[in-house]
Amino acid sequence: MNDTPWLLFVVIGLLTFTIRFTPIAIAGRGLPPLLLRALRYVPPAVLAAIFVPELLMPKGAVDISLANGRLLAGIIAIGIAWRTKNVLLTVIAGMVALWILTLISMAN
């Protein structure tokens, strides 16, 4: 069997790890406080970049209406996340809301 793909995966993985770990290793634990504060905003920014287009543009164009089930389900999920701080409950509630809103829109 040809092991070239697995070797390629390992090499690419090691290169990716090295590229991402090097700045951390060089800086050690002495990262400037300003950088540490800025890094706290990376996860919300990445999540917003992923989810906002999916919620606001489900069919390729901006849709901010009651007919946009994804947006309504997202608003419900955001409310539950804000209120409960429970990731699993947020995901479940958001998906159930999306399914219900999809079924309602299909019935109309």
User: Are the C-beta atoms of residues 67 and 34 closer than 8 Å to each other?
Assistant: no
The span from the CA of 53 to the CA of 60, in Å, is 9
**Residue 11 tokens, joined:** 């090499």
pLDDT in tens, 60-106: 888 898 888 999 999 999 999 999 999 999 999 999 999 999 999 88
Q: Which of 25-29, 49-53, 87-91, 98-102 has the lowest mean pLDDT?
A: 25-29
User: Is the model's pTM score more than 0.75?
Assistant: no
Three-state DSSP at 72 gives helix
In 28-84, alpha helices (H): 33-39, 42-56, 69-84
pLDDT on residue 107: 79
Among candidates 105, 101, 104, which has minimal Cα distance to 77?
Answer: 101
